[in-house]
Amino acid sequence: MNTSPGLLLLILTPLLPLLLAFPALHSRIFRPCHAALVPPLLLLTLPAGTTVELPWLLLGSGLAIHDQTDRLLLAMSVLLWGAAALFLHTTGKKEVDHRLTTCFMLALSGNMGMILATGMADFFAFSVLTGYAFYGLLVAGRDTEEIRRAARIYLVCLILADLALFEALLIAAATTGSLEFGAVHHVLARSSSIDLYLSMVLAGFALKAALWPLHFWLPPAFRSARPGVAILLGGVPVAVGLLTAMRWLPLGEVTRPDLALLVQGMGIAAMLYASVAGVVRAQPKTVTAYVVVAATGLFTFVLGTGLADPAAWSRHEKWVYILVVFLGIGPALLVVTGRWLEDHRHASCTIDNLPDTRLERCFRAALYWGTRTGTDTLPRLRAACLARASRLWQPRSWHRFLDGSERFLQRWAVAITLFLLLGVAVVFFSMSS
Amino acid sequence: MSWSATLPLLVLASSLLPGLVIFFLPEERVATRTILNLSGAVLKLVLVGVMIRGVYHGYHYETSLALLPGLDLVLRADPLSLLFVVLSSVLWLVTTVYAIGYLEGSPNRSRFFGFFSLCVTATIGVALAGNLITFLLFYELLTLATYPLIVHRGTEEARRAGRTYLFYTVGGGALLLIGTVWLYAIANTLEFTARGFLSGLDDTCHPALVIIFVLLIAGLGVKAALIPLHGWLPQAMIAPAPVSALLHAVAVVKAGAFGIMRVIHDVYGIQFAAGLGVLLPLAVVAAATIIYGSMRALFQDDLKRRLAFSTVSQVSYIVLGTAVAGPVATIGGLIHLVHQGVMKITLFFCAGNLAETLGIHKISEMNGVGQRMPWTMAAFTIGAFGMIGVPPLAGFVSKWYLGLGALDAGQEWVVYVLAGSGLLNAAYFLPILYAAWFKPPAASWPSESSSGRCETAWTLLVPPMVTAVLTLGMGLLASAPFSLLEWARFITSLEYAP
């Protein structure tokens, strides 16, 4: 259902933030970050099915709001970006605020464009814009070693992901002769290039969505990011990865049990690791990072299920979109709550000043009793075993273990990435043979 | 002489005559020199516009002047030559405006602009050459016209760079001459012909044709900076910024790459060259140059030197697109001829602005420069992202067609070369952008000169802004009617017509 206001709103949704990215423009407008959200907000009031074709743009483009799922994603994005805009300008420095606003606008334009894009090339262009602008959001005005390091890792992951997706894009175009999502899925699912295509898209997804064990930039980024950026951090990179997987993978049309198993395994591992790590972290900011990693793991598991059982995917696809929405909003809520809690606590905890839990105090008493008993009546071995077992119940032991594993992941980041790529290659070659 | 025979000569004369007059102008006649320069550049642009319209509607523009018995000096406008002519004419106008601002108040400007015009004349001659001997003549004229520009500053370092340049390019010219003479002895013609003129020769000539191919490509590869013949290019960056822009984007390296295209398309013919087995080795050399150039760029702290190694890498995309025998890859090579020119000239203009305004020559001096010169750095950012191949900029469209063409031709390895190069491009461009936009600025710049209200003189600021907008426009409007991509498709359809 194409109406002139509908077409205008479709075009303005990614275009207005792009224009407002210029400091000369956004500095003259009251609350520019919220003003940029007006077109998508109005777009939500229009009926689904509005489409605009732009065949002269890039490799032939189009924008559309097809159905309720698109509206749902758009609504989630408006909510997320609107909340982030409230907390964005906290520096008090005009130049830094200008830079933050510019990066915010560019990332917003990319995010909106991704939801509305009808073709793979436009989607790719918008996702690249979001990715680079988000890097700018991370580092703008925050010149600490920790954030620089996190942003650097994020950038490397982003570039590698974009290269993988570019390769997938080429395969799709060379195989199907089209860049429209629907046509590509249908033809690719029956072609011999499908395995390489799937491998590339999944690699791009894992790198973009900070899937375990490539998540190690996320906790330090959460720790150092500004409140507004932290809200986006919980939703945007993950949403970009999830949306990429949802739109690019021919789920429901292709069955790959081996690959599905690998993907499900990665998802479960991510959930387990993040759950354990998140439970023992005392800092609210870092906990959110692990919630994001666990949520990504959950979604990865769902993706794997989709690859194993296309029929089930087709039946429950809408629920997956709703899951994506909650995965986007949930971490943002956590960030806001975490910041509020922190503001009211006035102090952050570290490993060594963690307060004792009741459980810990009970076990310390048991240990004392056991050791005393062991010294007096029981063999020393029993006391040592008791002491060791009691240490397992101490949160700070787990804390140290997880910090150690985090450091290991960071130190061996390149090797792990190569190992994962090798895994993808092995799966690909074993399936092709 | 008819209009169709006069037009190619007029296009040539529109830069030659102002250039010759400028040589004899006294230094203080700034206004006359500027008017001559700009009117020549604008006139050329108008004439080229007329020519494009004519060729699109099927008119034939050709000038033929007797040179030697059996050999004519032929200037012909065909779709491929017009691609290069458009690039040279548009960028000449922009570079002239920039050079006027850049050299304001410096000595020997008449000499500079005289050779500058000669250089563009030679480039237009290379583009319009209708046979190999005409091509060779203008190719050598280009060498001679560029040398005084490289040594313009007159320092010992500039003279050394000039000597290296002459050593490489005269050597390359000699190889090209030997190949041309040998080819004439075998084929008895040197006329550029669609799909080549050698396929009808006897099989016994094939070994000789392979050797001639190597000689021609080696001769052209010097200017196209293929490894190991690229040594002159990083040294020549000592020249003033407008000359660097001319060398890297408009004239010299482009003449080499364009020559390789001419030899493969209109001397050998793509199908025949593929049959001889000479294209795969050329593609491998181009791929090696792409990776090597990027890796060398990674370790340069001097901004212009980093850009020079980037040119070594990027120009080989054009050669790679031509050597991967297939229509889609050919489109990629053709459009990159223009895209690389526009993107690289943007970067060199910006490097020139930084040097002229703040005395910045090294990347390590660029911290926070985005706050001091936001428009210049915005243009630089667009150029750099274009080079990396970020959509929707021009470089993405080039890489898209090169990659698609490689898959289409069954040469998947090229896609991995493109991916590797993209990664390296990001590795050597993104740290510059990070330093410029996100690092705190230095307390003082190496040598800041006053520039009034603007961040720098408008003659220095407008050219990079224009070319940055072109970089964005050529990517965004790639599929628009009358776009460069449409023209490249038109050329390819002629080459691959059944």
Nearest CA in chain B to A55: B479
Give the one of A140, A166, A167 whose C-beta lies nearest to B438's C-beta: A140
Q: What is the pLDDT of residue A423?
A: 63
B383 in a structural domain: yes
Range of the domain at B324: 287-498
Q: What is the pLDDT of residue A352?
A: 46
Within this chain, do residues A232 and A276 fall inside the same structural domain, yes or no? yes
A180 in a structural domain: yes
Inform me whether the pLDDT recorded for A342 exceeds 70.
Answer: no
Within this chain, do residues A286 and A385 fall inside the same structural domain, yes or no? no
A351 in a structural domain: no
Q: What is the pLDDT of residue A425?
A: 59
Chain-chain contact of A124 with B391 (C-beta, under 8 angstroms): yes
Domain boundary among A345, A377, A410: A345
Task: Report pLDDT digits (tens) over A38-76.
Answer: 999 998 888 778 888 888 988 888 899 877 888 888 888
Quote the CA–CA distance of B162 and A417 in Å, as a whole number.
46
Within this chain, do residues A285 and A381 fall inside the same structural domain, yes or no? no
Inform me whether the pLDDT recorded for A82 exceeds 60.
Answer: yes
Entry pTM: 0.87
Within this chain, do residues A320 and A396 fall inside the same structural domain, yes or no? no
B81 in a structural domain: no
Q: What is the pLDDT of residue B118?
A: 94
Q: What is the pLDDT of residue A349?
A: 46
A416 in a structural domain: yes
Q: What is the pLDDT of residue A426?
A: 60
B129 in a structural domain: no
Q: What is the pLDDT of residue B179?
A: 96
Within this chain, do residues A195 and A240 fall inside the same structural domain, yes or no? yes
* Chain A residues whose beta carbon lies within 8 Å of the beta carbon of residue B438: 136, 139-140, 143
Within this chain, do residues A329 and A418 fall inside the same structural domain, yes or no? no
CA distance A246 to chain B (A): 21
A399 in a structural domain: yes
Phi, then psi, of A431 in degrees rounded to 5? -75, -35
Among A227-236, A379-388, B481-490, the least confident range: A379-388
Of A327, A147, A145, A159, residue with least CA distance to A219 = A147
The tens place of each residue's pLDDT in chain B, 498 residues long, gives 788 889 999 999 999 999 999 998 888 888 999 999 999 999 999 999 999 999 888 888 999 998 888 788 999 999 999 999 999 999 999 999 999 988 887 888 889 999 999 999 999 999 999 999 999 999 999 999 999 999 988 889 899 999 999 999 999 999 999 999 999 999 989 999 988 899 888 888 899 999 999 999 999 999 999 988 988 898 888 888 888 888 888 889 999 999 999 999 999 999 899 999 999 999 999 999 999 999 999 999 999 999 999 999 999 999 999 999 789 999 999 999 999 999 999 999 999 999 999 999 999 999 999 989 999 999 999 999 999 999 999 999 999 999 999 999 989 899 999 999 999 999 999 999 999 998 888 888 888 776 667 788 889 999 999 999 999 999 999 999 888 999 999 899 887 876
Within this chain, do residues A364 and A266 fall inside the same structural domain, yes or no? no
Nearest CA in chain A to B404: A170
Could you say which residues from 124 to 143 on chain A have a Cβ atom under 8 Å away from some Cβ of chain B?
Answer: 124-125, 128, 132, 136, 139-140, 143
Chain-chain contact of B404 with A174 (C-beta, under 8 angstroms): yes
CA-to-CA dists, residue A162 to A5, A93, A197, B381, B389, angstroms:
34, 33, 14, 18, 11
* Chain B residues whose beta carbon lies within 8 Å of the beta carbon of residue A60: 479
Nearest CA in chain B to A59: B479
More confident residue, A275 or A431: A275
B418 in a structural domain: yes
Mutation choice for A interface testing from B438, B439, B482 by most A CBs within 10 A: B438
How are beta strands A61-65 and A50-54 bridged, if at all?
Answer: antiparallel
Among A155-164, A194-203, A355-364, the least confident range: A355-364
Q: What is the pLDDT of residue A359?
A: 56
A159 contact B CB<8A: yes
Within this chain, do residues A51 and A148 fall inside the same structural domain, yes or no? yes
Could you say which residues from 98 to 117 on chain A have a Cβ atom under 8 Å away from some Cβ of chain B?
Answer: 99
Nearest CA in chain B to A125: B391
Domain boundary among A313, A345, A377: A345
Q: What is the pLDDT of residue A371?
A: 62
Within this chain, do residues A230 and A255 fall inside the same structural domain, yes or no? yes
B456 in a structural domain: yes
Chain-chain contact of A57 with B476 (C-beta, under 8 angstroms): yes
Pair B379, B456: CB distance under 8 Å: no
Mutation choice for B interface testing from A159, A178, A200 by most B CBs within 10 A: A159
Within this chain, do residues A375 and A265 fall inside the same structural domain, yes or no? no
A352 in a structural domain: no
Interface A-B, measured as beta-carbon pairs within 8 A, has a size of 68
A411 in a structural domain: yes
CA-to-CA dists, residue A412 to A204, A286, A324, angstroms:
20, 21, 30
Within this chain, do residues A295 and A405 fall inside the same structural domain, yes or no? no
Quote the CA–CA distance of A421 and A409 in Å, as a whole number.
16
A54 in a structural domain: yes
Chain-chain contact of B403 with A166 (C-beta, under 8 angstroms): yes
Q: What is the pLDDT of residue A405?
A: 67
Percent of chain A with pLDDT over 70: 72
- Dihedral angle of Cα B413, B417, B422, B425, to the nearest 10 degrees: 180
Q: What is the ipTM of this complex?
A: 0.90
A86 contact B CB<8A: no
Task: Report pLDDT digits (tens) over A272-327.
Answer: 888 777 776 556 667 778 888 888 888 888 888 888 888 888 777 777 777 777 76
Domain boundary among A310, A345, A380: A345
Range of the domain at A372: 357-432
The total of structural domains in chain B comes to: 1
B11 in a structural domain: no
Q: What is the pLDDT of residue A350?
A: 46
Mutation choice for B interface testing from A25, A57, A58, A178 by most B CBs within 10 A: A58
Within this chain, do residues A222 and A336 fall inside the same structural domain, yes or no? yes
Nearest CA in chain A to B420: A163
More confident residue, A330 or B192: B192
Buried b (16+ CB within 10 A) or exposed e, A37-69: bebbbebeebeeebbbebeebbbbbbbbbeeeb
Q: Which amino acid is at A141?
A: G
B341 in a structural domain: yes
Task: Report pLDDT digits (tens) over A92-102.
Answer: 677 778 888 99
B444 in a structural domain: yes
Give the one of B385, B391, B440 whose C-beta lies nearest to A143's C-beta: B440
Could you say which residues from 274 to 313 on chain A have a Cβ atom under 8 Å away from some Cβ of chain B?
Answer: none
Among A212-226, A257-271, B198-212, the least confident range: A212-226
Q: What is the pLDDT of residue A430?
A: 56
The total of structural domains in chain A comes to: 2
